[in-house]
Chains A and B, each alone.
Chain A
Amino acid sequence: MQGETSVPKSDSPSLSIVMEDRKATRANPAKASAEKLNFWYGSNHALKNINLTIPEHQVSALIGPSGCGKSTFLRCFNRMHDLQPDTKYEGAITLRPDNVNLVGPETDPIEVRMRIGMVFQKPNPFPKSVFENVAYGLRLRGINGRTELAERVESALRGAAIWDEVKDRLNDSALALSGGQMQRVCIARALATEPEILLFDEPTSALDPIATAKIEELITELRQTVTVLIVTHNMQQAARVSDFTAFMYLGELVEVDATSKIFTNPAKKATEDYITGRYG
Chain B
Amino acid sequence: MAATAHMTLEELRQGLAWRKQLDKVFIVIGLALLFGCLAILAILFFDLVRDGSARFGWDFFTSFPSRKAENAGILSAAVGTMLIMVVTSLVALPVGVAAAIYLEEYAPKNWFTGIIEINVTNLAGVPSIVYGLLALGLFVYQFHLGQSILTAGLTLALLILPIIIVATRESLRAVPKAIREAAYGLGATRWEVTKDHVLPYSTGGILTGLILGLSRAIGETAPIITIGALSFIAFLPPSPVTGQFPFLNFEWLMSGFTAMPIQMFNWVSRPDQAFQANAAAAGAILLGMTLAMNAVAIWIRYRFRKKINW
Interface residues in chain A, defined as those with a beta carbon under 8 Å from any beta carbon in chain B: 78, 80, 83, 85, 110-111, 113-114, 117-118, 120, 122, 124-127, 136-137, 140-141, 173, 175, 186, 189-190, 193
Interface residues in chain B, defined as those with a beta carbon under 8 Å from any beta carbon in chain A: 108-109, 176, 178-189, 192, 196-197, 201, 307-309
Contacts of A111 in B (CB 8 A): 187
In the complex, residue of chain A having the shortest beta-carbon distance to the beta carbon of B196: A136
CA distance A126 to B198 in the complex (A): 10
Contacts of A173 in B (CB 8 A): 307
Q: A85-B109, A120-B178, A126-B197 are in contact. Are A110 and B185 (CB under 8 A)?
A: no
Closest Cβ–Cβ distance, residue A59 to chain B (whole Å): 19
Sample of 10 more A-B contacts, CB < 8 Å, known A113-B186, A127-B201, A137-B186: A78-B185, A80-B185, A110-B189, A113-B184, A120-B185, A124-B179, A126-B179, A175-B308, A189-B186, A193-B187
Contact between A120 and B182, CB atoms less than 8 A apart: yes
Contact between B185 and A190, CB atoms less than 8 A apart: yes
Name B's interface SS: helix
Contacts of A141 in B (CB 8 A): 187
Contact between A124 and B176, CB atoms less than 8 A apart: yes
Contact between B197 and A118, CB atoms less than 8 A apart: no
Q: List the count of A-B residue pairs having beta carbons below 8 Å apart.
A: 62
CA distance A114 to B183 in the complex (A): 11
Contacts of A190 in B (CB 8 A): 185-186
CA distance A175 to B196 in the complex (A): 17
Among B178, B184, B192, point to the contact of A83 (Cβ < 8 A): B184
Contact between B182 and A124, CB atoms less than 8 A apart: yes
CA distance A193 to B109 in the complex (A): 33
Among A117, A122, A125, A127, point to the contact of B185 (Cβ < 8 A): A117
Contacts of B109 in A (CB 8 A): 85
Contacts of B185 in A (CB 8 A): 78, 80, 113, 117-118, 120, 190
In the complex, residue of chain A having the shortest beta-carbon distance to the beta carbon of B186: A137
CA distance A124 to B201 in the complex (A): 14
Contact between A127 and B307, CB atoms less than 8 A apart: yes
Among B176, B181, B192, point to the contact of A140 (Cβ < 8 A): B192
Q: A85-B109, A140-B192 are in contact. Are A120 and B187 (CB under 8 A)?
A: no
Contacts of B184 in A (CB 8 A): 80, 83, 113
Contacts of B183 in A (CB 8 A): 126, 136
Closest Cβ–Cβ distance, residue A173 to chain B (whole Å): 8
In the complex, residue of chain B having the shortest beta-carbon distance to the beta carbon of A199: B185
Q: A113-B187, A114-B187 are in contact. Are A126 and B182 (CB under 8 A)?
A: yes
Contact between A110 and B187, CB atoms less than 8 A apart: yes
In the complex, residue of chain B having the shortest beta-carbon distance to the beta carbon of A123: B178
CA distance A137 to B196 in the complex (A): 12
Closest Cβ–Cβ distance, residue A233 to chain B (whole Å): 18
